[in-house]
Structure 1
Amino acid sequence: MASHRRPRQPSRARVTVLTTAAAAAVAISAQAANAAPSAKPSKDEVKSKVDKLYEQAEQATEKYNGAKEKQEKLQKEISTIQDNVARGQQDLNKLRDSLGSLAAGQYRSGGIDASLQLFLSSHPDDYLDKASTLDQLSGQQADALKKIQDKQRELAQDRAEATAKLKDLAATRTELGNKKKQVQGKLAEAQKLLNSLTAQEKAQLAAEQSRASRASERAALSDPTAPPASSHASGRAGAAFSAAQSKIGTPYVYGATGPSSFDCSGLTSWAYAQAGVSIPRTSEAQANIGTRIYSQSQLQVGDLVFFFNDIHHVGLYAGNGQILHAPRTGTVVRYESMSTIGGPFMFGVRV
């Protein structure tokens, strides 16, 4: 006899388990989709990221330049102080020898004065501070002892100053190393991004930069106030500009001051040096010399022009809204429109 039992219905618990499993499978699929590698950045996206990294590298470069300049200054100051200490020690030895001769003469003539004998056996400073001591000495002895005391104090001050500067130098060297690592890190990151481009994309970027540079050069040289590359302009600003023109095509290298490579402030300081004018090494320091000009329309060829809020980029005004500058790693000294620098024009400086 056939069974007429109804088929078993799945329990509510079993349905819940199946539903949960299905939901989990959907979630895992979604996570897998999200975990899939993102699309390769476009050429323009890479350029934007690289430009930002180069800007950060240039900020660190100017800090590096400042630390390097401070290090060199401290080294010179320490060397001068050490030379002074060496000469001072020689003078002190001569004074002591002279006083020793005086003591020997006293001994031969009947004995050494007690106060002088005390000096020769120990440090005289505390003893000389007592007025009664000087009263017991002859005028010649007192004069000799006073000179020795003054020289000892002078040497102590010089040695203390040298010690302080040596500590400052050690801290500066540490800062210099840190800034150098920052620059190198940003440049390495930018290079990694550039290496992700195809050969065709790299060629396109290079062509775009070349076209922009040629357009800027044509614009600058069409300005009647701009001195042609073949002439030596009058005035120190013009002379500095002509010197910079002679370096068009020279590669950018961070920390470089010429003549075969430059960074931004390295080019401007070198150019003005060729015109017989000494200006500071860093863009921040260069911004604090001369006469500031806030209106772009009042700029003249050869004026220093500064960009970004922290003044970390500087070039030479070339006329018609163009500058001549050392832009960043991977480029050369060239003309460029002020509108494409990547940061706001802050002001110019007429040296």
Structure 2
Amino acid sequence: MRAAKRGLITAAVTVVCAVTVLAAPGTAFASPTPTPTATPSPKTSPTPPPSKDLEAVREKLDKLYHDAAVATDAYNAAEEKAQQQSAEIVELAKKIVQGQQKLDRLKDRAGAAARAQYRMGGLPPQAQLMLSDDPGQFLDGAGRLLQGERATKGLIGEMTRTQQDLKQYAQDASAQWEKLEAGRKAKAAAKKKIKQQITEAEKLENRLEKKEKERLAKLEREAAAKAQTAWLDTGILKEINSKASKQGKKAVEFATAQIGKPYEWGAEGPKTFDCSGLTSQAWANAGHPIPRTSQEQWKQLKHVDIKDMRPGDLIIYFDDASHVAMYVGDGAIIHAPRPGRTVTLAGAGEMPILAVVRPDA
């Protein structure tokens, strides 16, 4: 019995230790070494590619970074689930230990009852009762016998339920372990996808000359400005006049204080952020925790009309909800755009809006 107890307790402790290893966050990868470019002859200057070629580069980069954002959301979701499943496994391990300790105590009680019977000559209580010549003792004994029978049945029932509980805890822990392992594989696949997309984007950018990069940056600014102007031309700002809530102000203050910090996929601060890491931490700082990923923020938080949005609300972008920003008023947002960029102030209409959600609805 003691060996079985030690085995279950050891197994439970092993589960807790293994969970700690499995749930550890992935190590961030380093940026690849830039691809060397040929040094032009000092007597000639390379002919810059036509604008349409750079526009194709810009569109290609947008797609690569968008795909990286989708993979980042998948990575963050797997990480969040792993943390939840790890916590559940730890709680189940505690229940297994506590259940085994309870079962041991019940067995001790059953053993004590058996030893007491042995000391009384091994006769069952019914036989001893029938051999009594004292009517008072007979009646008193009969009452005790009934109580003893009820207690024995109760003890046996409690032992049976405890054993069933232990079996269920073990099955639940095994199921959670399988989910945790599946999540680990999903997280690894997402991390690989992120690395591939970002590496390809960086290689594409590194093939450009300095002047090409400058023109590319100008094209990006022009595209963003064009989208923002088109959004503002709808007259939407005339309808948006709601004021921030108390918690919304705190969330905006937090986000504003992060401007200039680098983007890093999977990061939640304090030095680097990805898009949903910034928004989730801003609202956590405001005392109102929200889901970690942009997709879950879109799914779980209350949706509001664009005309009703107020500072602190979150704007979800793209059809797949792969990007999120915080609305700060006057048609502007604060967001962590993508690798190679920093947390910045931008126009709310620079990207296609999917929905507006309110954390403190």
TM-score band by shorter chain is 0.7 to 0.9
- Whether the aligned pair in 1 keeps the contact of 2:266 and 2:277 (CA below 8 Å) is yes
Return the TM-score normalized by structure 1. Answer: 0.72
Bigger Rg over Cα: 1
Q: 1:249 to 1:241 in 2, by over 3 A?
A: same
Q: Unpaired segments of 5 or more residues in structure 1?
A: 1-38, 114-134, 228-232
Q: Give the Cα–Cα distance (whole angstroms) in 2 for the partners of residues 109 and 159 of structure 1.
A: 40
Return the TM-score normalized by structure 2. Answer: 0.70
Q: Does 1:248 align with 2:256?
A: no
Alignment of 1:263-302 (within 5 A): 263-294=274-305, 296-302=306-312
Give the drift of 1:322: 2.1
1:45-94 superposed Cα distances (whole Å, 9 cap, x missing partner): 32221111000100111111111111110000000000010011011011
Aligned length: 280
Q: Give the Cα–Cα distance (whole angstroms) in 1 for the partners of residues 290 and 222 of structure 2.
A: 33
Q: 1:93 to 1:53 in 2, by over 3 A?
A: same
1:264-288 superposed Cα distances (whole Å, 9 cap, x missing partner): 1110010011111111111111123
The aligned amino acid for 2:289 is S
What corresponds to 1:340 in structure 2?
A: 350
The aligned amino acid for 1:88 is G
What corresponds to 1:13 in structure 2?
A: none
- Whether the aligned pair in 1 keeps the contact of 2:225 and 2:350 (CA below 8 Å) is no
The aligned amino acid for 1:315 is A
Q: Give the Cα–Cα distance (whole angstroms) in 2 for the partners of residues 192 and 210 of structure 1.
A: 21
The aligned amino acid for 1:150 is R
The structure 2 residue matched to 1:52, chosen from 42, 49, 63, is 63
Alignment of 1:3-22 (within 5 A): none
Q: 1:319 to 1:337 in 2, by over 3 A?
A: same
Q: Give the Cα–Cα distance (whole angstroms) in 2 for the partners of residues 193 and 213 of structure 1.
A: 21
Q: Give the Cα–Cα distance (whole angstroms) in 1 for the partners of residues 303 and 154 of structure 2.
A: 56
What corresponds to 1:323 in structure 2?
A: 333
1:29-50 superposed Cα distances (whole Å, 9 cap, x missing partner): xxxxxxxxxx899443322211
Instruction: Name the SS for the 1:339 alignment partner.
Output: coil
Give the drift of 1:207: 6.7
Give the drift of 1:212: 9.3
1:174-225 superposed Cα distances (whole Å, 9 cap, x missing partner): 1111111111111111111011111333345457768999999xx9xx9997
The aligned amino acid for 2:190 is K
- Whether the aligned pair in 1 keeps the contact of 2:242 and 2:308 (CA below 8 Å) is no
The aligned amino acid for 1:301 is P
The aligned amino acid for 1:196 is R
Q: Give the Cα–Cα distance (whole angstroms) in 2 for the partners of residues 262 and 172 of structure 1.
A: 22
Alignment of 1:121-270 (within 5 A): 138-205=149-216, 235-270=246-281
Instruction: Name the SS for the 1:315 alignment partner.
Output: strand
The aligned amino acid for 1:347 is A
Q: Does 1:303 align with 2:346?
A: no
- Whether the aligned pair in 2 keeps the contact of 1:213 and 1:335 (CA below 8 Å) is no
1:213-247 superposed Cα distances (whole Å, 9 cap, x missing partner): 9999xx9xx999799xxxxx761112101110000
Instruction: Name the SS for the 1:77 alignment partner.
Output: helix
Q: Unpaired segments of 5 or more residues in structure 2?
A: 1-48, 125-145
The aligned amino acid for 1:195 is N
Q: 1:213 to 1:247 in 2, by over 3 A?
A: farther
Q: 1:56 to 1:112 in 2, by over 3 A?
A: farther
Identity across the alignment (%): 36
Q: Give the Cα–Cα distance (whole angstroms) in 1 for the partners of residues 107 and 88 of structure 2.
A: 28
The aligned amino acid for 1:320 is D
Q: Give the Cα–Cα distance (whole angstroms) in 1 for the partners of residues 54 and 209 of structure 2.
A: 9
